[in-house]
């Protein structure tokens, strides 16, 4: 039987580096999963894809659903408030869109993929952090299974619990007043491609406003 004194010991000075390495590996794996699933999302006909009915709860603890968005132009994405990778960038872009179309009837919806932690109170604080206009930008929480079904089957955007994380698509979806998805816009391309893609999102919103 091996004596405790014979067991290899970890130098305490190296412990923080080991923890840091584990965190970096975890974040890298999370990002890789998200990118893989986003790239593997099926190509479909946007013209025929209608957003299915849904009802969740927004950051004001009010019921909010598809009926509140009928006849409106709106942008949707899937995030969670503790996300260490793509969500801050996506939410910041949504905030920029909100500012860009401040005087236009354009609405924004962010669905959390971590509803167990992202309560209405948590989402309310998160919304304030990005100066969200509560009349036009709704952060929604609710039943986890229904949210994932809406993401994967309704929007055809990848989302799935994975270990301690919640990998999900990095795409925005632009929805027309008729309730159909106009197009998707990926925020995770290279810097140049990402800027061009998100610039197209703004351009397409203006096109819909002028129709």
CB 171 within 8 A of CB 184: yes
Confidence bin at 165 (pLDDT 50/70/90):
low
pLDDT the model gives residue 163: 58
Q: What percent of the chain has pLDDT over 70?
A: 72
**Cα(88)–Cα(15) distance, rounded to whole angstroms?**
29
Mean pLDDT of 34-38: 44
SS3 184: strand
In the chain, % of residues over pLDDT 90: 62
Beta-bridge partners for 186? 171
Measured CA to CA, the distance from residue 188 to residue 37 in angstroms comes to 12
Q: Which of 113, 120, 10, 100 is nearest to 57 (CA)?
A: 120
Say whether pLDDT at 3 is over 60.
Answer: no
Using pLDDT thresholds of 50, 70 and 90, give the confidence band for residue 14: low
* φ and ψ of 154, to 5 deg: -80, -55
Q: How far is CA 160 from the centre of its chain?
A: 12
Site of tokens 């925020």: 187
Q: What is the overall mean pLDDT for the chain?
A: 82
Length of the chain: 211
- Assign residue 127 a region (left: φ > 0; alpha: ψ between -120 and 50; beta: otherwise): alpha
Residue indicated by tokens 């009915």: 53
Count the neighbouring beta carbons within 10 Å of the beta carbon of residue 120.
Answer: 17
> Of 168 and 8, which is predicted with more confidence?
168
Residue with token string 């929805």: 175
pTM: 0.77
Question: Per-residue confidence at 69, pLDDT binned at 50, 70, 90?
Answer: very high
Edge to edge, the sheet with strand 73-79 lists: 137-140, 106-112, 73-79, 171-175, 181-186
Give me the pLDDT at residue 36, please: 42
In 3D, which of 67, 82, 76, 61 has the Cα closest to residue 142? Answer: 61
Looking up tokens 């909010």 gives 64
């Amino acid at each position: 039987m091996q004596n405790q004194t014979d067991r290899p010991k970890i130098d305490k000075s190296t412990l923080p580096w080991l923890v840091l390495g584990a965190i970096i590996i975890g974040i890298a794996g999370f990002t890789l999963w998200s990118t893989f699933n986003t790239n593997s999302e099926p190509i479909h006909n946007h013209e025929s894809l209608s957003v299915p009915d849904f009802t969740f709860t927004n950051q004001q603890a009010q019921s909010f659903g598809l009926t509140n968005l009928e006849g409106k132009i709106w942008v949707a994405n899937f995030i969670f408030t503790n996300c260490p990778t793509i969500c801050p960038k996506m939410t910041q872009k949504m905030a920029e869109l909100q500012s860009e179309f401040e005087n236009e009837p354009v609405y924004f919806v962010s669905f959390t993929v971590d509803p167990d932690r992202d309560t209405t109170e948590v989402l309310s604080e998160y919304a304030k952090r990005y100066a969200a206009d509560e009349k036009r930008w709704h952060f929604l929480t609710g039943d986890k299974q229904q949210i994932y079904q809406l993401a994967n089957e309704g929007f055809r955007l990848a989302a799935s619990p994975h270990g301690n994380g919640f990998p999900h698509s990095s795409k925005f979806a632009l929805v027309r007043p008729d309730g159909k998805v106009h197009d998707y816009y990926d925020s995770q391309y290279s810097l140049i491609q990402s800027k061009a893609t998100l610039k197209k999102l703004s351009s397409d919103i203006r096109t819909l406003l002028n129709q």
